């Protein structure tokens, strides 16, 4: 175990806005990004309509009309903004944008970098190196609970990381069902584990330090893919 200063990056999706600024101290659950929920609809104009990218259109509106006696019209079936028109005269329209999706911070940290592509949060943590028994990674903020057998797991453990001394399939199955965030195995443990949960094995020497963290509500990054456990200070 060692103390480290590290960063966590959050990508800024299209149609999103950062709700923090450089140097801000953010807390667990604070909104970092608001993203407009936009749906893309496609319809065919049956004729070339020229450059219309970025144009706002309304349902039922005539968006293009040819000249002459036998004039032809293109009427929009939807309201939205034209994003592009391809070589087959398909018109791609973005609709919606009134509903918002928010991305919240899973930890207490400082905004170290912010640009058009990402936000980077800087924080300090206790870092443990282990062996990943599955893939995947997860943020958790409801603490670590030691589990010795099946009866120790309850619905209130949803979102927690559990600590076990050995892998038991019935415990893993129940942990998945109730929504446990991840699993730490101390000491021995099979290298062949079938589970959707991120699972990491730590050395027995780490047990004393991990036991001090039982039921402490701090942010935890469990990255089974690279065998890394971070307890945010």
**pTM, two decimal places:** 0.75
Separation between Cα atoms, residue 46 and residue 69, nearest integer Å: 19
At 171, which helix (H) or strand (E)? helix 169-178
Give the C-alpha distances (Å, rounded to integers) separating 135 from 31, 106, 229, 231.
28, 20, 13, 19
**100-110 tens-digit pLDDT:** 899 999 999 99
Residue ranges per structural domain of the chain: 2-11+124-232, 36-98
**89-142 tens-digit pLDDT:** 999 998 987 788 999 999 999 999 999 999 999 999 999 999 999 999 999 989
Separation between Cα atoms, residue 134 and residue 141, nearest integer Å: 21
Contact yes or no for 112/122 (Cβ under 8 A): yes
Contact yes or no for 211/145 (Cβ under 8 A): no
Contact yes or no for 194/180 (Cβ under 8 A): no
**151-192 tens-digit pLDDT:** 999 999 999 999 999 888 999 999 999 999 999 999 865 666
At 108, which helix (H) or strand (E)? none
36-98 architecture in CATH? Beta Barrel (2.40)
Provide the CATH number for the domain formed by 2-11+124-232 in this structure.
3.50.30.10
Tokens found for residue 181: 């965030």
């Amino acid at each position: 175990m060692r103390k480290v200063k590290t960063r966590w990056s959050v990508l800024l999706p299209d149609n999103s806005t950062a709700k923090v600024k450089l140097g801000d101290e953010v807390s667990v659950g604070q909104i970092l990004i608001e993203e407009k929920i936009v749906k893309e609809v496609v319809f065919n104009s049956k004729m070339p309509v020229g450059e219309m990218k970025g144009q706002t259109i309304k349902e039922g509106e005539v968006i293009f009309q040819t000249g002459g006696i036998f004039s032809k019209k293109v009427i929009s079936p939807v309201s939205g903004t034209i994003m592009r028109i391809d070589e087959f005269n398909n018109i791609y329209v973005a609709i919606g944008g009134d509903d918002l999706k928010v991305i919240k911070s899973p930890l207490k940290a400082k905004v170290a970098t912010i640009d058009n592509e990402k936000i980077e949060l800087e924080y300090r943590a206790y870092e443990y190196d282990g062996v990943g028994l599955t893939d995947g990674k997860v943020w958790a903020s409801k603490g670590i609970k030691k589990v010795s057998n099946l009866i120790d797991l309850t619905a209130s453990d949803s979102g927690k990381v559990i600590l076990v001394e050995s892998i038991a399939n019935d415990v893993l199955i129940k942990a998945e069902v109730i929504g446990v965030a991840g699993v730490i195995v101390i000491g021995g443990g099979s290298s062949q584990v079938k589970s959707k949960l991120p699972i990491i094995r730590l050395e027995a020497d780490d047990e004393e330090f991990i036991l001090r963290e039982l039921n402490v509500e701090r942010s935890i990054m469990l990255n089974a893919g690279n065998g890394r456990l971070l307890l945010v200070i």
